[in-house]
Structure 1
Amino acid sequence: MAFDKTTQLQGDDQAYTISDGIKKFSLRDVGFNESKNGSFTLKRSLDPTSPYSATVELKVTVNSDLTGFKMAAVAGNGLREVNIFKMERKDAFLEQFHYIMENLAEREIIVPVAH
């Protein structure tokens, strides 16, 4: 999956774009980890009942020059992408997803794209 300036989760109508005001320290402040190649990755459980053994995780990766990102909801093992909008527990997963995305927007990491 390539890094894009704008992306959205599988099954979501809402797209997000990377903020022009993004800073590396903001990424670190919200829990992104920097890899050896300079990219930043955030992994957060979308399961409010079990944050340590997640059944579904949100994975957001920002490239090293902060110009593009990708995100996906993945199964707990991180190997396959899932559509949380079609899952049985979608309401709980969506509540966590929207909370995380609002936090990233407040920190000027991503910006919701108007429909």
Structure 2
Amino acid sequence: MALLQKDHLDGANDWYRMNPSAKKYALRDNGFEETKNGNFQFSRDLEIGKPTSPKLKITISSDLKSLKMSAVTANGLRSVNLYKNDKTAEAREKAEYLLSDFVESNIVEKAND
């Protein structure tokens, strides 16, 4: 999985990049876990109480310069477009809420330029 300077969820208009002031402790405080190779990974179910809920997955490089984000199926094997239809409205809202929380926490910033 290649980490990118900026990324977005499939179907979304908003792009995100790392906030230059992001700190490793802020990642940990917001639910990111450090992997064996030093990257940070966030994975969260987007629909409460549903075993087939899509997940939001975000991986941030150990130098905090690049990221990769995606919405995936419950088993993590396929990418999901949360913006394709209304069946994923709840998951889409939760993903957007989490991303706006990461913007407020100075982890990522919108990169719609």
What TM-score, normalized to structure 1?
0.91
Q: How does 1:58-97 map to 2 (within 5 A)?
A: 58-97=56-95
What are the residue-to-residue correspondences of 1:1-115 with 2, within 5 Å? 1-47=1-47, 49-50=48-49, 53-114=51-112
Change (3 A) 1:80 1:110: same
Q: Residues 17 and 113 of structure 1 are in contact (CA less than 8 Å); yes or no, is this contact kept in structure 2?
A: yes
The alpha-carbon deviation at position 98 of structure 1 amounts to: 1.1
Aligned Cα root-mean-square deviation (Å): 1.4
| Secondary structure class of the residue paired with 1:85 | coil
**1: distance between equivalents of 2:86 and 2:100?**
23
- Structure 1 CA distance for aligned equivalents of residues 58 and 69 of structure 2: 4
Question: Matched residue pairs, number?
Answer: 113
Which has the higher mean CA deviation after the structures are superposed, 81-90 or 6-15?
81-90
Deviation (angstroms), 1:38: 0.2
1:35-71 CA-to-partner distances (Å, cap 9, x unmatched) read 1100000001111x426x3520000000111110000
1:68-100 CA-to-partner distances (Å, cap 9, x unmatched) read 000000000011111111144222112101110
Following TM superposition, the consecutive aligned residue runs of length 4 or more in structure 1 with deviations greater than 4 angstroms are none
Q: Percent sequence identity over matched residues?
A: 35
For residues 21 and 9 of structure 1, what CA distance do their matches in structure 2 show?
Answer: 23
TM score, norm. by length of structure 2: 0.92
Q: Gapped runs of 5+ residues in structure 2? A: none
Native 8 Å contact 1:11 1:85 kept in 2: yes
